[in-house]
Structure 1
Amino acid sequence: MVAKIILPYFGGGSAVWTACMLFYQSLLLVGYLYSFCISKLKTVYQQLAVHSVLLVVGMALMPLSLESIATTEISTQPFFDIFTLLLLGIGAPYFVLSATSPLLQYWLSHSVKSVQVYRLYSVSNVAAMMALFCYPLIIEYNLALSMQVWMWSGLYIAFSLFNFYCLYQVYRNTDKKTTEPVQTAQSKLASGVNIIRCIKWFLLSATGVILLVSTTNNLTINVPPIPFLWTLPLALYLLTYILCFFDERVYLKWYWNLMFSVVSLVALFLFSIGSQFAITEQICLYLVVLFVACIICHGEIAKSKPGNEDMTLFYLILAAGGCVGSVFASILATELFTQYYEYIVGICLVFVLSIAMEWQKQQGKVERKLVYLNVVGCLVFVSLFYLMQSQFNKYNVYESRNFFGIIQVKDIVNIDNPQRRLIDGYTSHGAQALAHQGKPMPLSYYRPETGVGVMLNLMANNGSGNKVGIIGLGVGALAYYGQAQDEFVFYEINPDVEYVAKRYFNYLTTSAATIDVRSGDARVSLANDYHQNGAHGFDMLIVDAFSSDSIPQHLLTREALALYEQHLAADGVLVFHISNSYLDLRAIMSGIEAQSGLQSRYFKTSDSATDTDQAEWVIFTSNMRYLADPQVVSKSVPLREVSQNVIQWSDNHSSLLSVIKL
């Protein structure tokens, strides 16, 4: 819920969820550290008293307030901006939530002799998994964000009151003068924590989180960053904990290691050519790989868990491993790698840890066979990865990675018309002929016969001195249409894209128009411009901002449209690029038409022998001169002819499930 609230202010990309995961893992570590420390107090009575005070503080901070989000300024370190924002907004209540589960299990081990407290860990994860599925399928789809915040605040108060009841029952049934937990025969056998076991827990926990975060990143390269796709990997990650801690027999070592050797090859093909699979195939295959890998990690953790007396230390080490894994996958990997290689690192770690754990035992023939299986599997995986990457990267001219994603510049020379392309994720975001002379002709979605090309040429034919706003820079191909005395203002959130457009492509430098590239989120920039300097008066405003095939929802809401209309000239044209492999945005366009009262035209330009990219553009205007132009009439149709559904989004309520292509 909170990730969805802050999404518009940080570019609408999946990295927002990754940053939220880092916050989640970090506060989980702090909460578990608190649980470990409080369990060392002299008596259970003192422990209950301290935690009761914390519960009261958490309740006093309700209802949840996130008003500071609207005034957030994005710095050059968005991860830390998000972390600080979440810490100030929900840090205290989440700290209470993270500390509660291990403490209740620890106290229960004092008062109930026959209970298997580790099974409560499974139960708590079942509840978390149910909530994860309920949010995107029921809550997000039906409730506005403001109502969601109030509902969460109410549930948190109910949670706190129930905790007071649990603390009272623990107080009644526990000897207040002791801190020693009840030990069953099983827990006594499991005691004897040493440094090797602690390192094992730490590394296995870190590996699971690395795979969780990297799977989410890879899964949302080409598909929109919606909560449903965020929560699926996390839910499956929790499911492996549930199964392994509820019944250790779920983890059949030979079976799951053999399965992993097979699915590791699936992971390799997904990493290299994932865009060739349909969206449902990508989701299913990524989740299968994650499930098998996490079953191994969490199965090994469950089989080596300690007795009740070391429970809080055990959870603390798991949280520390998870936090370090999240830091690696969220921050360090962005600095170390130019692609999502942390996914490959996670797969290799599963192999290496499986080998190390079996090599340490060496008990019997089966364990030796498992070592050989994992050694061969790891060598095959690494060898194939090297061969495939050397082929896929041989056309690379430049590649970079930052908070907003991965971009590559490739020279494609093995085609009839050699091109230089900008690739964001796996999707081409513009191209330029390598053999061009003088001013390069736009290719791909921006060629003259597409909707945007037709409209920009019409505007140029009606005179110079036009002002055009463009949300999304790409390679700067639209600058080609600029004439002398025109002004083209580009809004681009990713600084690496601006660098590439100026360094590796010629559209900006050869344009006759005055070019102004402004950094930052377009909607935030336009709002600031309006408040500081008034309306731009754009003759044309083009919305072409997407990261790979994922589109930020906050650029398509009722409030965003109102902002666009403020900056648009009276007879100006509003243009949307809606080409997308995974989303059908025509119903959203119909909603914009209904809200604006402007007339619409839908352009669909098919691929050709010289250009394989199919382009879909929608225009909105009240300018009858444009609407009656023969080119517009021949190349477009009214939007209502291709879309009967009408969907209107707002900042308070939107769901991409309503437009996703399945």
Structure 2
Amino acid sequence: MTDISVTLGSKDRQKQSALAMISVFTLAILLSAVLLFSVQPMFTKLVLPLLGGSSNVWNTAMVFFQAVLLLGYIYAHVITKYLPLKAQIIIHMAVLGLGCFFLPLSIAQGWTPPDGGAQSLWLIGLFGISVGAPFFAISANAPLLQRWFSRVDHKDAQDPYFLYAASNAGSLLSLLLYPIVFEPALRVGEQTALWAVGYGLLMVIIVGAGITAFRNQATVTSQTTEQETSRGVVTINRRLFWIFLAFIPSSLMLGVTSHMTNNIASTPFLWVMPLALYLLTFVIAFAKNPPIGSKHLGYVAAFAIMASLFFGFYYKANVLLSIGVSLSAYFIISLACHSRLVEDRPNTSHLTEFYIWMSVGGVLGGMFNALLAPVVFNGIYEYLIVLILSYLVVLRVSKIESVSFSLKGKLLALTLGTAVIALVLTVIGQPAKVAIIAAGCAFFFGLRMLTQASPRVLVMDISLVFGLALLLPGLALPKLFQDRSFFSLLTVKAEASEYGTVHKFIHGDTVHNYQLQDDGLSTVPLAYYAADNSFDIGMQFARSLTPQGDLSVAMIGLGAGAMACYERPTDNWTYYEIDQAVVDMARNPKYFSYIQDCSYGSDIVTGDARLKIGDLAPKSQDYIVVDAFSSNSIPAHLVTREAFALYRSRLKDTGVVFFHTSNRMLDVDSLVIRLAEDAGLSARHFFKNDFDGEPYQDFQSTSSAVMIGTEAQMSALSNFDARWTVMTPSEDVALWSDDYSNVVATMRAKSRLKAEKAAREAAVTATQK
């Protein structure tokens, strides 16, 4: 009886010991991941005021973090391979201790961004000096702790890869909590202080994990299973395959991020969505029992690629639909890649090496998008290229080699597929593409039959051919000019109109300006700057506030330069444009001649306005115009309390500030009105979307604007033009500052405004009936 009790007690103690062992390692890896992936959006947000809120700030940051992650994996590999466990623990605690000297996290002093090129290299250097040490120390934890766990006497020690799922679950939790909890509730200073506390707690837990590993080392045996032996053979081809499988999701992640931030807002809330999905694929793929295998994912991924090509590139009438489809396709493709990666994992003796090659693929994917593509391509083509490359992964992942189709079957499938696509194109008004698709499919399948290529699933072939047939003709459309920079994609197109040729400026995916090219019409401002629109009325009022009507104007944002047609010879205008590529385009009369034809030699200052406008003398400006919103994104650092304080310090006592607030996705109006309230000033709102009967109505743009000044000035503005009215800001939108913003609230507010407007229109329609 006593023996049975002792045995049972011993088993209970063993279970408790095993549970405690796995708990301390899981907790250490989980907290490491939370800290690792919270520092990315948090510190990148700190850098935004220096580089204008460009989505490339996030992409470049991702390259830095991926590179440091790789260095951490290499460090973990070296010390676990060449040092005994006790030495590993001591060295790693010293490395973690070194990171304490950089806490709390902050931007290194004395770093000013370059006005010309090399923003990416400058940003990488800033990240390295500011957060490199603590991030490096934490980045090594996932592979290092897994390797330590593989050496203990635990039943799961021989296959510790499931701990990587815990790591990515912690990363995912961090990314989801940041925009929902931490960003809206805590200022950046409070976030960095909390992060420092978490870092200290992590050091304590890792000491516990190290002691646990040291005390519970298993006896090393030479017995290996047949599966472990086959998994232990690591060849060059196998390493290259790991790199390729990691490259595809990493590159797609940054491609989707650029698409989203160029069309909504350049903020951590939107940056973390693709990264969160990326981490979720790791959680699913590295789980002990994944819910879906790579073979089945191969089927779904074929449709995902086609959907992404169609809705992500060709048919983008609905931005939210395009983003939703792009994110879904990216998730499916990434899950297929990572599932195949996990299936090909080696045994624990190569664990750290496996993570190194996986990280190499991630770094190469990031470098391709953030560093190489902007230099090599004049358009955003890397996303398309990697989507096509992912088709190769689908073929490999699906493992279907024995399916064979007769010539009749192929022709029948081709005919049916072409008919379906033709119907879709006809419905959306593109019947001319049918002939191109049919010719492409016939050529593709004809070539396959002539060469007797190994058969694959036919739907995959059709997906690729149809997708490219839809896309390539659009890419081949003539463009007068196309360029990309660190900040955006610029395109100029020429079109025919009833007034002759018109040039169209497209910033990202949004048309920002037009210019008629015929003599006598080239000095007519259009789009938002057309006569009787917000900018025109605002300029008239600003002139009415000065005795002679001469103005000193600080114009934030240049675009095509149409606002120059409002200059007078006795004015003093200074333009601020962060993107040198935009300046070069606006100054080239081959594309737009507004600057040449209208401006009176005004200064154009290249650089971020938050940094450059401080060079103006205090109380020197009559009028400050903030019109720097590219596509539908918001450079958040230009609409904060600190930014507005800078504007006011450069205004004369009689000066006013004009904000161009047009945006489809975010309630910028309420945001700007909150700035006025905080400063003890008044604001008036202007909106115009009806141009019937006006000259050049096809080339005018819906405009929303907010003017800020004293109450006396704003009352005079309403009397000057009754369309400038008092607007009550949304209760959802709070004041933004350099260490606080909440994009979710501005999106929610805009959604409610749209719903209320739709309800009012429906009520009017019902009344009329």
Alpha-carbon displacement from aligned partner over 1:403-446 (angstroms, at most 9, x marks no partner): 00101011122677752111111111221113351651111111
The residue number in structure 1 matching 2:206 is: 163
The residue number in structure 2 matching 1:638 is: 726
The residue number in structure 1 matching 2:741 is: 654
- Superposed displacement of residue 147, structure 1: 0.2
Task: Select which of 293, 305, 308 maps to 2:333.
Answer: 293
Within-5 A mapping of 1:107-122 = 107-115=148-156, 116-122=159-165
Within-5 A mapping of 1:94-493 = 94-115=135-156, 116-174=159-217, 186-247=227-288, 249-273=290-314, 275-279=316-320, 281-355=321-395, 362=401, 370=456, 373-390=459-476, 393-394=477-478, 396-413=479-496, 418-437=501-520, 440-460=523-543, 463-493=548-578
| TM-score of the two chains, using structure 1 as the length reference | 0.92
Equivalent position SS for 1:87: helix
Conserved? CA contact 1:467–1:539, under 8 Å: yes
The residue number in structure 2 matching 1:606 is: 689
CA distance in 1, matches of 2:170, 2:392: 32
CA distance in 2, matches of 1:414, 1:181: 80
CA distance in 2, matches of 1:645, 1:133: 20
- Superposed displacement of residue 21, structure 1: 0.5
CA distance in 1, matches of 2:734, 2:524: 36
CA 1:147–1:52 in 2, change beyond 3 Å: closer, same or farther?
same
CA 1:182–1:350 in 2, change beyond 3 Å: closer, same or farther?
farther
CA distance in 2, matches of 1:241, 1:88: 30
Conserved? CA contact 1:588–1:649, under 8 Å: yes
The residue number in structure 1 matching 2:606 is: 519
* Structure 2: runs of 5+ lacking an equivalent: 1-41, 406-452, 752-769
* Structure 1: runs of 5+ lacking an equivalent: none
CA distance in 1, matches of 2:714, 2:142: 64
Equivalent position SS for 1:246: coil
CA distance in 2, matches of 1:628, 1:61: 53
Alpha-carbon displacement from aligned partner over 1:546-576 (angstroms, at most 9, x marks no partner): 1211111111111111110111111112100
Equivalent position SS for 2:151: helix
CA distance in 2, matches of 1:580, 1:263: 30
Equivalent position SS for 1:636: coil
The residue number in structure 1 matching 2:94 is: 53
CA 1:629–1:549 in 2, change beyond 3 Å: closer, same or farther?
closer
Alpha-carbon displacement from aligned partner over 1:216-245 (angstroms, at most 9, x marks no partner): 111212110121211111111111111111
- Superposed displacement of residue 75, structure 1: 5.3
CA distance in 1, matches of 2:733, 2:403: 66
RMSD (Å), alpha carbons: 2.6
Tell me, yes or no, if structure 1 residue 8 matches structure 2 residue 96.
Answer: no
Equivalent position SS for 1:378: helix
CA distance in 1, matches of 2:683, 2:290: 61
CA distance in 2, matches of 1:469, 1:201: 53
- Superposed displacement of residue 618, structure 1: 1.1
Aligned residues: 650
Q: Select between 130-139 and 651-660 the one with higher mean Cα deviation.
A: 651-660
CA 1:209–1:542 in 2, change beyond 3 Å: closer, same or farther?
same
CA distance in 2, matches of 1:75, 1:184: 59
Q: Select between 508-517 and 313-322 the one with higher mean Cα deviation.
A: 508-517
CA 1:252–1:440 in 2, change beyond 3 Å: closer, same or farther?
same
- Aligned AA for 2:473? L
Alpha-carbon displacement from aligned partner over 1:519-541 (angstroms, at most 9, x marks no partner): 000010012x04xxx32611111
CA distance in 2, matches of 1:184, 1:437: 84
- Aligned AA for 1:474? G
Equivalent position SS for 1:124: helix
- Aligned AA for 1:435? D
Task: Select which of 597, 615, 621 maps to 2:703.
Answer: 615
The residue number in structure 2 matching 1:64 is: 105
The residue number in structure 1 matching 2:626 is: 543
- Aligned AA for 1:29? L
CA distance in 1, matches of 2:363, 2:532: 51
- Superposed displacement of residue 96, structure 1: 1.1
Alpha-carbon displacement from aligned partner over 1:570-596 (angstroms, at most 9, x marks no partner): 111210000011111122122122123
CA 1:170–1:523 in 2, change beyond 3 Å: closer, same or farther?
same
Conserved? CA contact 2:309–2:468, under 8 Å: no
CA distance in 2, matches of 1:537, 1:183: 79
CA 1:643–1:308 in 2, change beyond 3 Å: closer, same or farther?
closer
CA distance in 1, matches of 2:71, 2:560: 44
- Superposed displacement of residue 250, structure 1: 3.8
- Superposed displacement of residue 202, structure 1: 0.7
Conserved? CA contact 1:190–1:304, under 8 Å: yes
CA 1:182–1:112 in 2, change beyond 3 Å: closer, same or farther?
farther
Tell me, yes or no, if structure 1 residue 81 matches structure 2 residue 167.
Answer: no
Tell me, yes or no, if structure 1 residue 583 matches structure 2 residue 666.
Answer: yes
Conserved? CA contact 1:75–1:81, under 8 Å: no
CA distance in 1, matches of 2:498, 2:76: 62
- Superposed displacement of residue 119, structure 1: 0.4
- Aligned AA for 1:3? T
Equivalent position SS for 1:197: helix
Conserved? CA contact 1:222–1:550, under 8 Å: yes
CA distance in 2, matches of 1:385, 1:646: 39
Conserved? CA contact 2:732–2:746, under 8 Å: no
Equivalent position SS for 2:736: coil
- Superposed displacement of residue 494, structure 1: 0.5
Conserved? CA contact 2:294–2:397, under 8 Å: no
Q: Select between 365-374 and 209-218 the one with higher mean Cα deviation.
A: 365-374
CA 1:397–1:44 in 2, change beyond 3 Å: closer, same or farther?
same
Conserved? CA contact 1:590–1:643, under 8 Å: no
CA distance in 1, matches of 2:630, 2:393: 35
Q: Select between 440-449 and 406-415 the one with higher mean Cα deviation.
A: 406-415
- Aligned AA for 1:35? A
CA distance in 1, matches of 2:222, 2:270: 41
- Aligned AA for 2:513? G
Conserved? CA contact 1:557–1:650, under 8 Å: yes
Percent identity between the two aligned chains: 28
CA distance in 2, matches of 1:408, 1:211: 23
CA distance in 1, matches of 2:199, 2:44: 18
- Superposed displacement of residue 455, structure 1: 2.4
CA distance in 2, matches of 1:549, 1:226: 12
CA distance in 1, matches of 2:266, 2:308: 20
Equivalent position SS for 1:590: helix
- Aligned AA for 2:336? I
- Superposed displacement of residue 111, structure 1: 0.9
CA 1:439–1:377 in 2, change beyond 3 Å: closer, same or farther?
closer
The residue number in structure 1 matching 2:582 is: 497
Conserved? CA contact 2:717–2:724, under 8 Å: no
Conserved? CA contact 2:297–2:398, under 8 Å: no
Task: Select which of 60, 68, 75 maps to 1:27.
Answer: 68
Equivalent position SS for 2:570: coil
